[in-house]
Amino acid sequence: MKVTLFLAIFMLMLMSIANANNHASATCPIPQTNTPIPAYFKEMNKILKLLSVFEPYSDARPANATFERSAKRLFRLGRTMDQASQVLMQQNGDLDKSSVEKIDNSLKLSVQYVVNITKLVEYGKPLSDKYNYTAENVQIIQGVTSQYSTLFKALIAHVPHCAAYSSITLSFAKIICALVEAMEYLQPGAFAKGGKEFCDQLPTNKNPPNPEEIECIFTPPAAFTQCGNSTTAMFKYGTDNNLMGKPQSSEWCPSNGNPSTCTYHPSCAFSQSSAW
């Protein structure tokens, strides 16, 4: 039986996060501010590239081994995005020209990887429906898309108005449109009002999108904002409380902001060990 890698990631993640407390950090370390900001985007691309590859499993490549490896990659991606967002929020002043150019180039690659990933997600919809994972899958993509929106706002505030500013904005628009289109395919109603029209016109629009327009593509779920705009905190709380894939009926992460919960900072949700 052949299953796309990314769909397999989704299916395992729902099981793996349930055991995430074994990897929870006992302390709340600050972001690695000594790490150059472009390095976070480079790391994201390494993970996205792996996730975008069609990788069927067989007797020679057991499903559980593939799933475990894929789950670790997805944790790394979420944590890296969280950390990049936090570091950028602490950034003072504009990024230098070299950093902006490196980030711009990384994002152009990210667009290609994300588009491939969303195609795999759509291809795997029959299997997702069969095993009743579609609602959970949509919620996971919501978290990732929300994190991209947060990352964009944190980044663009430090990019001077130049050619790279428009290029970076366009890359984020393409990434977010691809993710929301995948959600729409799985479960209609993902777009915010006017979002679908914006994404449909994006390939032929000669004018670069405005940052404000990107915020109109998709509205992050309340669970994401209630969990401190952190995908890792959102997924951990949702799974710990058996809420993933269910309509939200109560506040998520109600203790968010309390240092004792270790969810107020995204780098705290999981251990910083090399295994994760």
The pLDDT assigned to 107 comes to 97
Cα 168 vs. chain centroid, distance in angstroms? 17
DSSP 8-state secondary structure symbol assigned to residue 23: G
Q: Is 158 helix (H, G, I), strand (E, B) or coil?
A: coil
Number of domains composing the chain: 1
CB neighbours of residue 276 within 10 Å: 14
Q: What is the dihedral of CA 219, 121, 275, 17, to 10 degrees?
A: 60
The pLDDT assigned to 40 comes to 95
The pLDDT assigned to 233 comes to 87
Closest CA to 162 of 104, 89, 213: 104
Within the chain, which residues score under 70 in pLDDT? 1-33, 54-72, 74-75, 256-276
The pLDDT assigned to 75 comes to 67
Residue 126 domain flag: yes
Closest CA to 18 of 263, 238, 267: 238
Report the alpha-carbon distance of residue 55 to residue 62 in Å, rounded.
Answer: 11
Give the relative orientation of helices 134-156 and 5-16 as an angle to the nearest 10 degrees. 90
CB neighbours of residue 168 within 10 Å: 22
Residue 146 domain flag: yes
Residue 273 domain flag: no
The pLDDT assigned to 46 comes to 94
The pLDDT assigned to 187 comes to 87
Residue 171 domain flag: yes
Residue 25 domain flag: no
The pLDDT assigned to 172 comes to 95
Residue 192 domain flag: yes
Residue 86 domain flag: yes
Q: DSSP letters of 95-119?
A: PPHHHHHHHHHHHHHHHHHHHHHHH
Q: What share of the chain is helix, strand, coil (3-state, %, to 5)?
A: 65, 0, 35
Residue 204 domain flag: yes
Q: Are 150 and 78 within 8 A, CB to CB?
A: no
Q: Are 241 and 233 within 8 A, CB to CB?
A: no
Q: Are 32 and 82 within 8 A, CB to CB?
A: no
Domain range holding 260?
Answer: 5-15+32-268
The token pair at 53 is: 């590859």
